[in-house]
């Protein structure tokens, strides 16, 4: 009985030693993998940083070449010339008043269309992500235009200094924006209904 117990204890000790050795091997393997992964991440990071620096240097070189290119200057002048001519032709006293009203109408109309209009269309069972992207794009363009128009009016006219001009232009923009909203909403509802009729025919 004593010999059996002794063998059992020895077997347990041996098993424990084996398990301990396995755990040690696993731990060592995990540490090696972590070390290799860390080295790989560092290598990728350094490579990405070097590529970014090279790309930045190449972009700066290209920009400098274009900046000193006579042909590029002529192309830029050709693009700006008709814009300058149009600006001169539209330099009447009410230009900033009209521009402010139109840009504000765009912001109001497309903001309403992007929120309320899409809710109305969704309630009718229609939703198109392309329409959302399109409306959001026009809204951003209108908002940028409104900011630039206000800045230009502040620097080049007395429009922003006249309370009557600002309020009247804003009122016209508000009314026009609401009209644009209802017009756009009706178009989207008609398109939704047309798609539904086409799907039923199939």
Q: Out of 56, 89, 122, pick the residue that ends a domain.
A: 89
- For residues 114 and 193, state if they share a domain: yes
- For residues 47 and 146, state if they share a domain: no
- For residues 66 and 150, state if they share a domain: no
Instruction: Say what the pLDDT of residue 30 is.
Output: 61
DSSP state of 116: I
DSSP reduced 3-state for 202: coil
Mean pLDDT score, 87-98:
78
Chain segment 49-86, per-residue pLDDT in tens:
888 788 888 888 888 878 788 887 888 888 888 877 87
Domain assignment of residue 14, yes or no: no
Per the structure, the complete domain to which residue 43 belongs is given by: 29-89
- Measured CA to CA in angstroms, residue 75 lies from 24, 67, 83, 99, 126 at distances of 70, 12, 13, 28, 45
**Spatial separation of the C-alpha atoms in residues 182 and 176, rounded to whole Å:** 10
Q: Is 85 exposed, middle or buried (0-12, 13-18, 19+ CB in 10 A)?
A: exposed
Global confidence as pTM = 0.61
Domain assignment of residue 5, yes or no: no
């Amino acid at each position: 009985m004593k010999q059996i117990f002794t063998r059992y204890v020895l077997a347990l000790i041996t098993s424990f030693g084996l398990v301990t050795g396995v755990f040690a091997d696993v731990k060592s393997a995990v540490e090696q993998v972590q070390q290799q992964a860390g080295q790989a991440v560092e290598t990728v990071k350094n490579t990405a940083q070097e590529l970014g620096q090279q790309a930045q240097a190449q972009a700066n070189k290209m920009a400098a070449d274009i900046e000193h290119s006579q042909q590029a200057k002529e192309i830029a002048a050709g693009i700006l010339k008709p814009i300058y001519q149009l600006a001169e032709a539209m330099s009447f006293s009410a230009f900033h008043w009209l521009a402010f009203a139109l840009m504000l109408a765009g912001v109001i109309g497309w903001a309403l269309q992007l929120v309320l209009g899409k809710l109305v269309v969704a309630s009718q069972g229609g939703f198109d992500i392309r329409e959302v992207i399109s409306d959001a794009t026009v809204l951003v363009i209108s908002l940028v235009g409104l900011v630039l128009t206000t800045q230009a009016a502040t620097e080049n006219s007395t429009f922003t200094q006249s309370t009557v001009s600002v309020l009247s232009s804003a009122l016209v923009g508000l009314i026009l924006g609401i009209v644009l909203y209802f017009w756009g909403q009706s178009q989207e509802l008609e398109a939704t209904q047309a798609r539904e009729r086409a799907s039923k025919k199939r």
